[in-house]
A and B are shown apart, each in its own frame.
Chain A
Amino acid sequence: MLPHAQKKQSPSNRTLHAYTFSMPAALLLIVLVIVPVIGVALISTTDWRLGEKSFEFVGMKNYIKLFADSLFQRSFLNTIVYVLIVVPITFSLALGTAIVIESGRTFKTFYRTVIFLPATATVVAMAIVWDFMLHPTLGIFNIVLDAVGLQGHNWLRDEGLTLYVLAAIGVWFRVGYLMVLFLAGLATIPPSLYEALAIDGVSNPWDRFRYVTWPLLGATSAFAATIATIQAFQTFETVAVLTQGGPNDATELLLHTMYVEAFQFFRTGYAAALTVVFLVLILSVTLGRSVLTNMREKHA
């Protein structure tokens, strides 16, 4: 017998391997994802506060309280406004920038590198830098406005303004990442399609975009929109560092509200209900997107 033939394995042996390879991951997914999701749903039906020995089941009471709570209503509405501002602006700015970079031949890598920079920087550190730039007396914004004779603002303490300031910072953080997604998508469009258009006498940039770029970028755009929406819903760092939800709850976003309820007030059952609402929002973005994609494929 050849020495290596002894080690030759049977298919059933391979099945055994399949279980040893996938079991750690499967068990951990159960412990770290499935049990916690079921757990948070169960906790949301109790009045439990972390640290207390006893609790009672209260059914849907936490949810009823939640939707009647003006802080939650404010936070929910703020989150929707924030997402509706950040996502379309980030998306179009990123797409536009990617197309403009690809429309020429010079400095492509340089522009891509510089515009992507914020996406690699530590979010908390850069949020602290924004805090400094927006400082009412020492910040560069008010110094520049003052120099040209315009009235400065208290950017982070203005009830009517601060949420939009946070949205602008959100765009700054994310536009580079989406731009790189679009650059990857643009690279997959064969140049011959643009040449064919040119032969047909179409050379106007808008028509090139309408007839080739946009339709062929469909999958990339859908992915970019989904990921941008989910990330915007998950905004936490900028609120925690810059405003803590203030002034007067004007920048309270869902994740920050959830953090405060769960880990500062330890209203565990109530925070669990808020978490479930947050999960439903996130899942509806992901699932809504697959439904839309499927519909489009059926009609195509």
Chain B
Amino acid sequence: MIALKRNRLGIILASCARHGFLAIMCIIMVAPFAVMTSASLKSSSEIMGGGLSFLPQDGWFALENYGRVLTEVPILRYMLNGLFVTGSILFMQLLIGIPAGYALAKLQFRGKNLIFGGVLLGIMVPAQVTALPIYIMLYLMGLTNTYASLILPFIVSAFGIFLFRQFFRGISDDLLNAARVDGLGETEIIWRIVVPIARPAIIAFGIFSIVAHWNDLFWPLVAISDSDLAPPPLGILFFRNQEAGDDFGALMAAAVIVTTPLILVFLLAQKHFVQGIAMSSQHKPQQE
């Protein structure tokens, strides 16, 4: 009886320790978001006063802060730039990557191993390494400081091709042969049979690509000097360096506006995020 009680006590203690540890982790993870939201609602003078309350004490300044961001900075334009650039990149990556992944997974041709080797090399070389020569190429073509300069360097994703190849290899050849007997051409097979089956891999890759390019600062900083073309990360940096200065209320409002879309996408499509990360680790190149 006593032993049983001790055991139950142990379970309760373990559960408390688990929730205690995880609650601390959660607080650390959420704190910057809370500080950001809180300051975006407060007046400059209250922020200068250094209070610790989450909600404003000397009146709400949300309208002023968000209003300042929306009227003084083309923040919506930055968001549309980001949407257009990430959307175009993903569209081209799928258009080029899906057929290539299919050819590497399901068709026989000379040079296949060579191309696959190129894909593996492409995965290993970080984008910052090719930035300088690609910048020079774009400069010589007169394309720096254009939307094209933000999109073109990324229209082929070696990681995407690799992921698609791995996934397509799991599709049964009997199914593809049956489709061929039914008179479907290879192009139709890709878009009407393979793509619907591979939806989880395509969504996972899409999320990966959107997060990577929406967040990228390095390349826009290199390629763009005209602030009208800036995607959100570069735009908010312009705002801080040129307009906001120490107006932290407005700066935090801008951070809220820029951060919210991806967080909403994540909260709505969480399952796909998690699946995508799991897939990227299970289909890793080094496992070949």
Contacts and interface: CB of A to CB of B under 8 A. Distances in A.
Nearest to A183: B274
A173 B118 CA distance: 31
Nearest to B181: A8
Contact of A15 (B21, B109, B137): B109
Given A4-B182, A227-B281, A262-B132, 12 more contacts: A21-B100, A112-B274, A116-B266, A120-B265, A124-B237, A140-B52, A143-B52, A177-B277, A181-B278, A237-B215, A275-B129, A278-B128
A185 interface: yes
Interface string B148-192: 000001011010010000000000000000001111011100100
User: What's the dominant secondary structure at chain B's contact region?
Assistant: helix
Interface string B203-237: 00000000100110110011000000000111011
A95 interface: no
A115 interface: yes
Interface of B: 14-15, 18-19, 21-22, 25-26, 28-33, 35-36, 39, 47-48, 50, 52, 96-97, 99-100, 102-104, 107-109, 111-112, 115, 118-119, 121-122, 124-126, 128-137, 139, 153, 155-156, 158, 161, 180-183, 185-187, 190, 211, 214-215, 217-218, 221-222, 232-234, 236-237, 240, 248, 251-252, 254-255, 258-259, 262-263, 265-267, 270, 273-274, 277-278, 281-282, 284, 286-287
B52 A123 contact: no
B281 A103 contact: no
Given A29-B119, A33-B158, A129-B35, A21 B102 contact: yes
Given A4-B182, A143-B50, A255-B218, A100 B22 contact: yes
A138 B48 contact: yes
A129 B36 contact: yes
Interface residues of A, number: 101
Task: With a 10 A CB-CB cut-off, give which of A7, A21, A177, A271 has the most chain B CB atoms.
Answer: A21
Nearest to A241: B237
A132 B153 CA distance: 34
B86 to A, nearest CB: 12
User: What's the dominant secondary structure at chain A's contact region?
Assistant: helix
A154 interface: no
Contacts of A18: 103, 107-109, 112
A184 B282 CA distance: 9
A68 interface: no
Nearest to A44: B132
Contact of B118 (A30, A118, A140): A30
Interface of A: 4-5, 7-9, 14-15, 17-22, 24-26, 28-30, 32-37, 39-40, 43, 50, 97, 100-101, 103-104, 106-107, 111-118, 120-126, 128-130, 132-133, 135, 137-138, 140, 143-144, 147, 172, 176-177, 180-181, 183-185, 187, 219-220, 223-224, 226-227, 230, 234, 236-237, 240-241, 255, 258-259, 262-263, 268, 271-272, 275, 278-279, 282-283, 286, 289-290, 293
Given A121-B259, A125-B258, A40 B130 contact: yes
Contact of B274 (A114, A144, A184): A184
Contact of B99 (A21, A103, A268): A21
A100 B24 CA distance: 13
